[in-house]
Amino acid sequence: MRFGIMSFAHLHAEGFVGNLRAIPGLELVGFSDDDTRRGEHVAQTFGVRWFAHHEELLEAGVDGVIVCSENARRRELVALAAAAKVHVLCEKPIEVTLADAEAMRDACETHGVRFMTAFPMRFEPSIRAVKGALERGELGSLHAAAGINHSEIPKAHRAWFADKALAGGGAVMDHTVHLTDLLRWYTGSEVSEVYAEVGNPFYPGEVDVDTAGLVTLTFADGFFASIDCSWSRPTSYPRWGHLKMELFGERGAVRVDGFAQSLTAYSRHLPRNPSWLAWGADPNQAMIEEFVASIEEAREPAVTWRDGYEALRVALACYASADAGQPVTLDR
């Protein structure tokens, strides 16, 4: 099987190189990027063939691609891949408007290709352990949850994250989608109402996008959740960020930390001192292996376009709620 990466705009693309190379029988053909400076740097750093035009990568013959462009450019690349009959794993959020996201779905359906949304936390062992406990009924019916997803501001590595035209928003767009997806997955229910307070308390005057949000979600089955998302971590923090949740059910409660498997290292040779170095399983590896398996087995992947779309709906509703100063109802 032959794979490629379309754009290295998103910082996750760097890790995906090693993930793809770790899969037996899979060939990483190369990556495409129309940014010459970035393309030359990536090719030299990772030893991957660079295609200056996305069409050239597709013409080289690939079975699947991972789309890692800026948020607002994903529709364009997904449409190119679909027209070439190439299956797509797409970074999150899948786009910045619902219309563009729907056009991506239509392109994939028209050309008969698979679309998977890149939600790696679905494949993290502790997150999956909680899913198993819920399926076994150990917590009973879920009543409420509180989640946090914080990180440093990504603009130090990729400036476009703080460009509203390319990113569609800031910390709320970047971080609500992960927790929204996990809560939908845990409950099997959809979000019916969103209320959000959104602002820029951490980098006022430096960026024109939000750097923090406090979000409350009401689900169709009555389940209630809060999400605290931000770019509040300084560059001196031991790790880029974290994702945690507390869930409360009729029979008990559980706390889950998606990045708890780490050790503390002190060294002047590390970019962060101290640093929290992960030693546990790599959820990105499991996510990509699931995408490859879905192609080989001609089936839908475990995480679909619909999952990416529903998470995007919630992120956009957060901004609409903040602008209106009141809850927003999501029609079904």
The domain 2-113 is classified under which CATH number: 3.40.225.10, 1.25.40.80, 3.40.50.150, 3.40.50.720? 3.40.50.720
pLDDT tens readout for residues 59-118: 999 999 999 999 999 999 999 999 999 999 999 999 999 999 999 999 999 999 999 999
pLDDT tens readout for residues 271-323: 899 999 999 999 999 999 999 999 999 999 999 999 999 999 999 999 999 99
Lay out the sheet containing 27-32: strands in order across: 50-51, 27-32, 2-6, 64-67, 87-90, 115-117
Is the pLDDT reported for residue 42 higher than 90?
A: yes
Distance CA 57, CA 52 (A): 9
The confidence score (pLDDT) of residue 157 equals: 74
Is the pLDDT reported for residue 220 higher than 80?
A: yes
Phi, psi (degrees; rounded to nearest 5) at 21: -70, -20
Name the band, by pLDDT with cuts 50, 70 and 90, for residue 162: very high
Which amino acid would we find at residue 195? Y
- Answer for the pair 82, 108: CB distance below 8 angstroms, yes or no: yes
Please report the sign of the dihedral spanned by the C-alpha atoms of residue 237, residue 238, residue 240, residue 241: negative
Three state DSSP letters for 71-105: HHHHHHHHHHHHHCCCEEEECCCCCCCHHHHHHHH
Sequence ranges of the chain with CATH classification 3.30.360.10: 121-281+303-329
Question: Which pair of tokens denotes residue 214?
Answer: 């406090």
Q: Of 248, 255, 252, 256, whose CA–CA distance to 142 is shortest?
A: 248
Is the pLDDT reported for residue 208 higher than 90?
A: yes
Query: What does the pLDDT average to over 252-270?
Result: 95
Sequence ranges of the chain with CATH classification 3.40.50.720: 2-113
Rg (CA), the chain: 19
Q: Of 114, 92, 111, whose CA–CA distance to 101 is shortest?
A: 92
| Helix runs in 87-195, H state only | 98-111, 125-135, 164-167, 171-187
Which amino acid would we find at residue 188? G
Concatenated DSSP letters for 300-329?
A: --SS-HHHHHHHHHHHHHHHHHHHHTS-EE
Query: What does the pLDDT average to over 241-256?
Result: 97
The confidence score (pLDDT) of residue 306 equals: 98
- Between the CA of residue 271 and those of 93, 239, 268, 274, 276, what are the distances in Å? 28, 10, 8, 9, 11
Is the pLDDT reported for residue 218 higher than 80?
A: yes
- Taking the model in full, what pTM does it have? 0.96
Fold for 121-281+303-329, please state it.
Answer: Dihydrodipicolinate Reductase; domain 2 (3.30.360)
